[in-house]
Chain A
Amino acid sequence: MSEPGVPNVSAGFPPLERMEISRINRSRTGHWTVLACALIVLLVLGAEALRWSRAAHAAARPSMGSIGPAARATLTELSHTHIPAPQGMPSAHASALTPLAGDGMLAFWWAGSRESGPDVKVFASRWHNGAWSAPWIVASRESLGKELGFGVRRIGNPVAWTDRSGKVHVYVVATGLGGWAAARIAHIVSSDSGATFAVRRVLPTSPLFNTSALVRTSPVALSDGGWWLPVYFEIGNKYPMLMAFDADGNPTSLARIGHSTSTLQPAIVPVSASEVRALMRDDSEQMRVQHASSRDGGASWKDLPALDLPNKSTSVAAIRLTSGQFLMLHNHIAAGGSDRNLLRLSISDDMRSWRTVADIAKGPAGDEFSYPTMQQVGNELHITYTWQRQNIAHHRYKITLGESI
Chain B
Amino acid sequence: MTLPDLALQIVYARLGWAVVAATLVTALWRGPALTRPVLAAIMAAALVAMALPGELSPAWWLGLAFQYPSGLLVGCCALRLFERWHGIRRSRAMPHTLAGVLVVCGTLLYLDTFGLLARGFYYAGFWPVLTPLVAVLGAAACALAIVRGHARSPAAAMLGAIALFALLRLPTGNLWDAMLDPLLCGWAVFTLAASALRKSGRRATDPVAGTPESPRAPVMQPAPVEQFSSVKE
Can you list 29 residue pairs at the A/B interface with Cβ under 8 Å? A30-B147, A37-B159, A38-B143, A41-B136, A43-B163, A43-B167, A44-B135, A44-B136, A44-B139, A45-B139, A47-B167, A48-B136, A48-B166, A52-B129, A149-B14, A150-B61, A150-B63, A176-B66, A177-B65, A200-B6, A206-B122, A207-B109, A235-B114, A239-B115, A251-B3, A251-B126, A253-B123, A259-B118, A261-B115
A235-274 vs B, Cβ < 8 Å mask (1 yes, 0 no): 1111100000000001111111001010000000000000
Bound-state CA distance A33–B61 (Å) is 38
Bound-state CA distance A294–B3 (Å) is 27
| Tally of contacts, chain A with chain B, CB under 8 A | 161
Residue contact A237 to B65, C-beta cutoff 8 Å: no
Bound-state CA distance A239–B114 (Å) is 9
A147 within 8 A of B: yes
A-B pairs with lowest CB-CB distance, top 3: A150-B63, A151-B64, A37-B143
Bound-state CA distance A146–B173 (Å) is 22
B140 within 8 A of A: yes
Bound-state CA distance A38–B139 (Å) is 10
Which residues of A are found within 8 Å of B55, using beta-carbon distances?
151
Residue contact A149 to B63, C-beta cutoff 8 Å: yes
Enumerate A127-154 residues with CB–CB distance to B below 8 Å: 145-153
Bound-state CA distance A287–B63 (Å) is 37
Which residues of A are found within 8 Å of B13, using beta-carbon distances?
149-150
Which residues of B are found within 8 Å of A41, using beta-carbon distances?
136, 139-140, 143
B111-131 vs A, Cβ < 8 Å mask (1 yes, 0 no): 001111010101100101100
A19 within 8 A of B: yes
A9 within 8 A of B: no
Residue contact A207 to B122, C-beta cutoff 8 Å: yes
B54 within 8 A of A: yes
Which of these, A49, A149, A251, contacts B60 with CB under 8 Å?
A149
User: Which of B34-42, B96-104, B174-182, B195-203 touches A?
Assistant: B174-182
Enumerate A183-203 residues with CB–CB distance to B below 8 Å: 184, 199-202
Bound-state CA distance A200–B3 (Å) is 11
Residue contact B163 to A151, C-beta cutoff 8 Å: no
**Given A43-B167, A233-B115: A51 and B10 interface contact (C-beta under 8 Å):** no
Enumerate A213-249 residues with CB–CB distance to B below 8 Å: 233, 235-239
Residue contact B123 to A256, C-beta cutoff 8 Å: yes
Residue contact B166 to A47, C-beta cutoff 8 Å: yes
**Given A43-B163, A57-B128, A239-B115: A204 and B60 interface contact (C-beta under 8 Å):** no
Bound-state CA distance A4–B153 (Å) is 13
Q: Which residue of A is nearest B123, CB measured?
A: A254
Residue contact A55 to B118, C-beta cutoff 8 Å: no
A346 within 8 A of B: no
A40 within 8 A of B: yes
Which of these, B1, B67, B147, B180, contacts A37 with CB under 8 Å?
B147
Enumerate B1-34 residues with CB–CB distance to A below 8 Å: 1-3, 6, 9-10, 13-14
Which residues of B are found within 8 Å of A47, using beta-carbon distances?
166-167
Which of these, A44, A153, A255, contacts B166 with CB under 8 Å?
A44
Enumerate B146-184 residues with CB–CB distance to A below 8 Å: 146-147, 159, 162-163, 166-167, 172-174, 176-177, 180-182
Bound-state CA distance A9–B140 (Å) is 32
Residue contact B1 to A253, C-beta cutoff 8 Å: yes
Residue contact B113 to A4, C-beta cutoff 8 Å: no
Which of these, B116, B146, B147, contacts A237 with CB under 8 Å?
B116
Which residues of B are found within 8 Å of A1, using beta-carbon distances?
none
B110 within 8 A of A: yes
Q: Which residue of B is nearest A182, CB measured?
A: B65
Residue contact B60 to A51, C-beta cutoff 8 Å: no
Bound-state CA distance A148–B64 (Å) is 10
Which residues of B are found within 8 Å of A151, using beta-carbon distances?
55, 60-61, 63-64
Which of these, A37, A238, A255, contacts B120 with CB under 8 Å?
A255
